[in-house]
Amino acid sequence: MLEVRNLKVRAEGKDILRGVNLTVKAGEVHAIMGPNGSGKSTFARALAGHPQYEVVGGEARYLGRDLLDMDPDERAREGVFMAFQYPVEIAGVSNAYFLKAALNAKRKHDGLGELDAMEFMTLVRDKAKLFDLDASMLGRAVNEGFSGGEKKRNEIFQLAVLEPKLAILDETDSGLDIDALRVVANGVNAMRSTDRAFIVVTHYQRLLNYIIPDFVHVLNDGVIVRSGGKELALELEEKGYGWLEAAGASA
Amino acid sequence: MAKGGAVAERNDFYLAEHDRFIACRASDPAWLRDLRGRGLVRFAERGFPTTRDEEWRFTNVAPIAETPWTLAPAVAPGVDTLIRDVLFDAAIRIVVINGRFVPELSRISNSPVQAGSLAGAVAGGSVGLEQQIGAFEMDGRPFVALNTAFLDDGALVVVPAGALLRDAIHIVVATVPGADPVVAHPRIVVSVGASAQATIVETYVGAEGVPYLTNAVTEIELGENAVVEHYKDQREPTTAHHVATMHVRLARSSNFASQSFAFGGGIVRNDLVAVLGGEGGECTLNGLYFSDARRLVDNHTMIDHAMPHCASHELYKGILAGKARAVFNGKIVVRQDAQKTDAKQTNRALLLSDDAQINTKPQLEIFADDVKCTHGAAIGQLDEEALFYLRARGLTALEARDLLIHAFAGEILNEIKVEPVRAQMEAALFDRLAQDLEGQ
């Protein structure tokens, strides 16, 4: 589904990613871990097409197409979804309006008919029930006045409604209490399927108790320094990230 | 010397125009002829304002001052196409074209509400007009003085005490340009009696072509406990300049809510003065304006808290594109007797280009000691993170931009209670935005 080769990304004049390689197949869940400043979020945002992240080398192919050549909105309509680390507040736009516009943009792109207000509300109520999310947040302005946990749940709600092929979670677990974390993890687990892939960017191993990854990658200083199975996360939990610096120093 | 000569020349032009104007109006009542005379004297004293006048510091009206505007002639037939798009199904409609009431396009009322031509009311010897017209100071207001010097026709609405009008009264002011630059000086006079309730919509439109000037004056008086909602919809072409002064007097416990929309015009200047002249009055002044290309939109508001226990709320929002300029000056005066005043003023502007510019100034003059007055201004561009967030969910760059502008404007647009007006305003704004985008 996703083939990343030697990806190099600059942001604010600094080289952040210095050659990342990653292959993600449909049905897989990949966790990307690493210390602060290792480039985890940069990787997520670059895949989503954030304009402040400049790709200076390498390539990323998504379903056989050049992902980096697509505008961020085209990536989204093609089924790439990034759950934001810091979801943006948009005053004056209701969640329902926003989500309906997003869903219909995608449906139109897929050659499906646009949903009217009634069909849309039925769909989101069903999703809310299924994912144990609060449908009352639909009437509120996008993320405005939401707590940190509500914002992250809202991202998962969007994920559930938009049903992407490739979902990238950028530290969705950071700062969450255990209840909110469960909602997020349950949402992701319910969405796991053979034709959908996840890249879960996280700072803490805790999330991976709830979302069991197929692969764990450790990013440090802009490159993936280790890859392994789910047991790698446990090892990191035990040893922390300190050993990376030691490894870096000896290299 | 040359400059002084130019001013004198301009004065001579308007004096000659005035002579022509009054020549066929000798039979008008003495009070009206006297009022016009005072207006002419006031105008001639100072002429058009310049940027040396504090109230006009950022608004250069030289393109207006340097043009010899002749009075717009009576209209040719076929002008109904000009106003067709702005009409809605109002029970009372007063259409004024080129400064003159047009009975064929209007739906007037004689009783219980008196609504129709101002000139008609003057000719009919309508009682109390003398007190209703020109009841405020022209000094320092040269455009009001000029309007008064050429005061002729417009709209008169008198709502009797206790009348509850559910339907909006629509006043349409339109101008058809001529071969030479023309000016219209419409005068709108509204009086709403005690405990009465009314909604007034003023719409300003015109045809493109040779430049013209609209120099409008609206006077609104609210009796005790009266409730008035007022909408001003200004959609004149870029070839037109629009200068308008609205003066509102609120009696005890009355409530006035104004929404002013300025989407058109080359140079636009709105002066809105609201005098809270009785205890417990409440006044809401909201505005939404759009300026692009090299257009200028200037909103000057002045809320005069003259009596205690009055509240005022003010929210003006602007959207600026291209090399547009805007001015917002919000003056709030709280006089010594006006204890327990609650005044809040907010002014926000959205700059869609790096070349757009706004000068904003809150001006609070507080002479009472037990009051609550707040003001705030925020100028900014579209939030890049919000744009990316929307695009990351599949909306195109254009859809994302429109959605954010909708959200910005919605705070004002969604408050319009007259649905056809709300729909028209929303469509007009996004039409202008789309045109602006094509031009880029």
pLDDT the model gives residue B428? 94
- Kindly report the average pLDDT of chain B as a whole number: 94
% residues pLDDT > 90 (chain A): 72
pLDDT the model gives residue B434? 84
For B397, name the nearest residue in chain A, comparing CA atoms only.
Answer: A73
SS3 of B423, please? helix
Q: Identify which has the larger pLDDT, B396 or B434.
A: B396
pLDDT the model gives residue B7? 75
pLDDT the model gives residue B4? 58
% residues pLDDT > 70 (chain B): 98
Please judge whether B393 and A158 are an interchain contact, meaning their C-beta atoms are less than 8 angstroms apart. Answer: yes
Identify the residue whose tokens are 């209840």: A179
Please judge whether B383 and A106 are an interchain contact, meaning their C-beta atoms are less than 8 angstroms apart. Answer: no
Reported as a single tens digit per residue, the pLDDT across B117-141 is 999 999 998 888 999 898 888 989 9
Instruction: Give the whole-angstrom CA distance, residue B177 versus residue B174.
Output: 10
pLDDT the model gives residue B81? 85
The whole-model pTM stands at: 0.89
Question: In this predicted structure, which of A14-23, A103-112, A202-211, B343-352 has the lowest mean pLDDT?
Answer: A202-211
Please judge whether A51 and B406 are an interchain contact, meaning their C-beta atoms are less than 8 angstroms apart. Answer: no
For B394, name the nearest residue in chain A, comparing CA atoms only.
Answer: A73
Instruction: Give the whole-angstrom CA distance, residue A93 versus residue B404.
Output: 8
pLDDT the model gives residue B2? 45
Residues of B in contact with A87 (CB under 8 A): 389
Q: How many inter-chain contacts (A to B, CB under 8 Å) are there?
A: 73
Mean pLDDT across B203-212: 96
For A161, name the nearest residue in chain B, comparing CA atoms only.
Answer: B393
Please judge whether B395 and A73 are an interchain contact, meaning their C-beta atoms are less than 8 angstroms apart. Answer: yes
Band (pLDDT 50/70/90 cuts) for residue B158 is: very high
**DSSP secondary structure letters along chain A:** -EEEEEEEEEETTEEEEEEEEEEE-TT-EEEEE--TTSSHHHHHHHHHT-TTEEEEEEEEEETTEEGGGS-HHHHHHTTEEEE-SSPPPEEEEEHHHHHHHHHHHHHHHTTPPPP-HHHHHHHHHHHHHHTT--GGGGGSEETTT--HHHHHHHHHHHHHHH--SEEEEESTTTT--HHHHHHHHHHHHHH--TT-EEEEEES-GGGGGTS--SEEEEEETTEEEEEE-THHHHHHHHH-SHHHHHHHHH-
- From B225, B202, B221, select the one nearest B273 (Cα to Cα): B221
Residue B387's H or E segment, with its range, is: helix B384-391
Reported as a single tens digit per residue, the pLDDT across B408-435 is 999 999 999 999 999 999 999 988 888 8
Mean pLDDT across B177-199: 97
What is the value of ipTM here, to two decimals? 0.95
Residues of B in contact with A88 (CB under 8 A): 383, 385-386, 388-389
Identify the residue whose tokens are 């948009």: A90
Mean pLDDT across B192-210: 97
Please judge whether A73 and B385 are an interchain contact, meaning their C-beta atoms are less than 8 angstroms apart. Answer: no
Task: Name which of A67, A70, A73, A106 to mutate to probe chain B: the one with the most chain B Cβ atoms within 10 A of its Cβ.
Answer: A73
- From B272, B191, B196, B202, select the one nearest B232 (Cα to Cα): B202
Band (pLDDT 50/70/90 cuts) for residue A249 is: very low
Q: In the structure encoding, which two tokens stand for residue A153, read together?
A: 């749940």
Q: Please, are residues B120 and B160 in contact by the beta-carbon 8 Å criterion?
A: no
Q: At what angle do helices A95-109 and A148-162 cross, to 10 degrees?
A: 30
pLDDT the model gives residue B77? 63
Nearest to B394 among A87, A92, A106 (CB): A106
Reported as a single tens digit per residue, the pLDDT across B353-367 is 999 999 999 999 999
CB atoms under 10 Å from CB of A104, counted, come to 18
Q: How far is A187 from chain B (nearest CA, A)?
A: 18
pLDDT the model gives residue A248? 53
Band (pLDDT 50/70/90 cuts) for residue B179 is: very high
Question: In this predicted structure, which of A119-123, B6-10, B206-210 has the lowest mean pLDDT?
Answer: B6-10
pLDDT the model gives residue B201? 98
pLDDT the model gives residue B438? 62
Q: What residue type is assigned to position B327 of the chain?
A: V
